[in-house]
Structure 1
């Protein structure tokens, strides 16, 4: 007598169910997207809690969590205070950078312009005449010593040696700058130099503000970390004995 099979066992082959109408996920109106790891709409139905307006999945939500302004119960007051300090320092730099550049540039421009006017009054141009030319300078220097003569602004005749570029001949005239008593000096400051100093001061003003803001952020974070660690220690002193098993 052959053994009988249990009712409903069929031919012994395992049945498989397709994700059709018998699939409970299909009946609920959604399927999990196995490729992208997120839920997707099926038959025009969006899963509950996966809407686009949900704060946890939007860019704004990620920003709020990153800035520690969410309702996470693990957030401490020091965490939110640190975020507020960082935001204030960023705003301070963004607002103060143009102002510091204008202030530093304006101050430097005023100083450089006064120096330019003072040099124009004291560094006077005169025409010098080359009398004799000496040997060219050694060491690859493209200058030569000459004996030149000019009349100082006071009317005094000046005769002295000076270095000029190679290529001049006796009798050539050169424009030089002297002090009111006839001594050689440098040309007065040009407008381009004033502009360069002004731009350099603007950059220095912004860089100085950045250093101040960075130092303020470091000090604030150091102080908040001390408060945070002190709060952790206080919490541990209150909860630690309840977790510790004593003999």
Structure 2
């Protein structure tokens, strides 16, 4: 099939045609709008989401800092049932102002009391999770951006499919009404 024939088939709703209905033109605009939302909107949403996530991760890296801490109680080795490599344990650390703090955080299993670990604190001195490295942050931001783009694409495709389904239902109903008018007269003009 030549490219010209393919293009004509793909764009039949846009060309003048005595069989073209108003719903066909409406459907063509809906398809165009859905693809525009998916391509342009999905790209924008994905980029904005990835950029926002990357900024949050960069802020976490700037605000959080590590401090040496000491495990206060023995941490049992992981059991075969849980299979975890980290467990909640009480730790103690000294703040920059010289005060000692105690709290619970996740540490590697099998630690003995007195073992040194690294604790992460936020800007207010509260325990926090370790911020992602720049590479981890870039990967996670990319995943979040992709998920946002796919979410928008799925919503646009779903909405477009619903509207097209409603148009199909309307066309079928219209054909039924037209057949009700034409059907009884079908074959009456036969010569006998």
What is the TM-score when the length of structure 1 is the normalising length?
A: 0.54
Q: 1:211 aligns with which of 138, 158, 170?
A: 158
Please tell me whether residue 187 in structure 1 is matched to residue 130 in structure 2. Answer: yes
Match status 1:100 vs 2:41:
yes
* Residue 149 of structure 2 is aligned to residue 202 of structure 1: yes
Q: Superposition pairs for residues 1-247 of structure 1, below 5 Å?
A: 60=5, 76-78=19-21, 81-120=22-61, 122-130=63-71, 132-136=73-77, 138=79, 139-140=81-82, 141-143=84-86, 147-152=90-95, 155-168=98-111, 172-189=115-132, 190-236=137-183, 239=185, 243=188
The answer to whether the 8 A contact 1:85-1:217 is kept is no
Cα distance per residue 1:11-35 (max 9 Å; x no partner): xxxxxxxxxxxxxxxxxxxxxxxxx
Structure 1 regions of 5+ residues with no counterpart?
Answer: 1-58
Please state how far the C-alpha of 1:83 moved relative to its aligned partner. Answer: 4.4
Counterpart-to-counterpart distance in 1, 2:54 and 2:16 = 54
Q: Matched residue of 2:70: which SS? A: strand
Count of aligned pairs between the two proteins = 176
Q: Any stretches of 5+ residues in structure 2 without a counterpart?
A: none
Runs of 4+ in structure 1 off by over 6 angstroms are 68-71
TM value normalised by structure 2: 0.66
Larger radius of gyration, structure 1 or 2? Answer: 1
SS in 1 for 2:143: helix
Specify the SS of the correspondent of 1:104.
Answer: helix
CA RMSD of superposed structures (Å): 3.8
The structure with the greater share of residues assigned to helix is 2
